[in-house]
Amino acid sequence: MKKITCIIVGTRPELIKVAPIIFELKKNKIEFIIINTAQHKELLAPYWDIFKLKADYELDVMKPNQSLATLTASVINQLQNLLDAINKNIGLIVAQGDTTTVMVASMIAFYNKIKFAHIEAGLRSFDFENPFPEEYNRRVASICTKFHFAPTKLSASNLLKEGINKKYIYVTGNTVVDSLQFIVKSNSLIKRKFADARLNNLENDKVVLITCHRRENQGKGLQNIIEAVLKIANKFNNYKFVWVLHPNPNVKTIVLQSKLSQTSNCIITSPLDYIELIKLMRYSKFIITDSGGIQEEAPSFCKPIVVLRETTERPEGVELGMAKLCGTNINKIYKAALWANEYKFSLKNNPYGNGNASQKIVAILKKEAIKK
């Protein structure tokens, strides 16, 4: 029986970054299946349409207010049961990032003696609490990985320091750049109107994009971030501050009930699809975020970032001088916003690659892992 490749995704960042790899697999006529754990079911759903893709199998792992341990157990059980039921001769499992889905995918690969390819390998914050639980997830994944696809030289060096054989470490760039170029070339940004009509008449470079969702920023941290945004919005009253909500009620409810909702130059909007988010990113003067993905995407648009985190596993932007780590300290966030407003950023060499990461990855897999 011919061996096939299994792509496992569960969240929207994973699909965004795996989509160009799937396109390359198709071009190379490599047989594969896609499993969606649906870890972010509602958030992920629209993204299948954006990339014109469809999962072959879908799990149902999410329950209200479940613990991380319960989620992990659910993904393990459902994913193993599915692999047993579909009775496919899987020779390779591919997953991207640092979610519970990715950690479990690597574990399932190990338990079933299947080769595991980790996309975006080697990212490290060196702090298990920041981000939580992602730093733990990606370290576990690295233990089980056969093929480590590191997006940058720095992430590759992290793996080498952990004793990973350099023979299995490949610096490829980040596939998020591939996806961004795919969207831009499709002219989707020009054609797309925002579902929220308030966003359709925004003036270029008069927008500040805000996103916040991390567990470690919830509670007092989120309150501090809101206070900082209110202070910045008062300072730059000719700008529109667009806070893109995350559906987690621990974030959503607090933001909606805050003074931001009564602030004239603040717009609180529902989650945006990928094309809308990119379009808003391009409009922005600067970005305030705790998102790892946006830290990678912003350099492609030369946008400075105020990072709402104490540490980052993506230090390339900080080292380039186009991102500042602020945590949830009100004064640090405010001062960083002043800096970002004045900052002129020009990027000749994107630290995350030039848009051919997926081609490199599939070429390596075709040569080293996927046997006919």
**What residues act catalytically?**
98, 120, 134, 213, 215, 246
Q: Cβ neighbours of residue 337 under 8 Å, at least 6 residues apart?
A: 208, 228, 232, 235, 236, 286, 288, 306
Name, in order, each residue with C-beta under 8 angstroms of 249's C-beta and a sequence gap of 6 or more.
none
H-type alpha helices, the chain: 12-27, 41-50, 68-86, 100-111, 134-144, 153-161, 175-185, 188-191, 220-235, 249-256, 274-283, 292-297, 316-320, 330-342, 357-368
- Furthest C-alpha separation in the chain: 66
**Buried residues in 48-80 as b, exposed as e (16+ CB within 10 A):** bebbebebebbbebbeeeeeeeebbebbbebbe
Q: How many CB atoms lie within 10 A of CB 27?
A: 11
DSSP 183-237: HHHTTHHHHPPPSSGGGTTPPTT-EEEEE---GGGTTHHHHHHHHHHHHHHHHTT
Burial category of 363 from C-beta neighbours within 10 Å (exposed 0-12, middle 13-18, buried 19 and up): middle
State the helix-helix crossing angle for 41-50 and 12-27, rounded to 10 degrees.
30
Provide the edge-to-edge strand list for the sheet that holds 169-171. 57-58, 32-36, 4-9, 90-96, 115-119, 147-150, 169-171
CA distance 37 to 35: 6
Backbone angles phi, psi at 152, to 5 degrees: -140, 165
What secondary structure letter does DSSP report for 130? Answer: T
Instruction: Please give the full DSSP string across 279-316, using - where no structure is assigned.
Output: HHHHHEEEEEE--HHHHHHGGGGT--EEE-SS--S-TH
